[in-house]
Amino acid sequence: MQAKRSSIRRHRRASAFTLIEVLLVLAILVVLASMVVTIFGGTQEQAFKDAAKGQVGIFKTAVNLYKFHTKNYPAGLEGLITRPSDEAQSKRWAGPYIDSSKVPLDPWDKPYKFAAPGKHNTESFDVWSTGPDGQDGSEDDIGNWDA
């Protein structure tokens, strides 16, 4: 009878996890989770930057088409959607030049900027996003002057 009890205790002990084993598995899971968050966190930020670059490219094309039709740059990006009030330009306007009822915001929910003549492109125009930090004129701005 004593041998039977001893065998049952050994069997229970062998089939259960020790506290050290459970903690080791938890530590491994935490390390893996932190690696996944780090990898995918950077991916989302890069996707936002790529989306802003794409939208800046769309604005650049639309502004050039606006200038081709009206012989002038728009006063702002809203000019790509609404007809100009100037009668001569209004006759030549062939817009809207972007497929939207209002100028879209950048991926960080800030308005895109426009200047003609531009600070970077002094012979034409600048169109840009203030980037992740939302500060105009900082290194993370994304504009049509970037190659």
pLDDT average per 10 residues of sequence, the chain (147 residues): 58 68 84 78 83 92 92 91 87 88 92 92 92 88 84
- How many C-beta atoms surround the C-beta of residue 139 within 10 A? 7
CA separation for the pair 114, 129 (Å, rounded): 9
Please give the pLDDT value at position 73.
Answer: 92
Question: Which pLDDT score, from 0 to 100, does residue 146 have?
Answer: 74
Beta strand pairing call for 113-115 and 142-143:
unpaired
Residue with the two structure tokens 């020790």: 18
For 16, the domain range is 2-143
Quote the pLDDT of residue 112.
Answer: 94
Model confidence, pTM: 0.71
DSSP per residue, 29-97? HHHHHHHHHHHHHHHHHHHHHHHHHHHHHHHHHHHHHHHHHHSS--SSGGGGTS--SSHHHHHH-----
Domain count, the chain: 1
CA distance 54 to 103: 14
Question: Exposed, middle or buried: residue 137 (CB in 10 Å: 0-12, 13-18, 19+)?
Answer: exposed
> Distance between CA atoms of 44 and 50, rounded to whole angstroms?
10
Bridge partners (DSSP) listed for residue 115: 126
29 vs 35, 37, 72, CA distance in Å?
Answer: 10, 12, 60
CATH of the domain at 14: 3.30.700.10
* pLDDT at 4 (0 to 100): 59
Give the model's pLDDT for residue 2: 60
| C-alpha closest to that of 96 among 85, 84, 82 | 82
Look at residue 105 in the predicted model and tell me its pLDDT. 93
d(CA 64, CA 97): 10
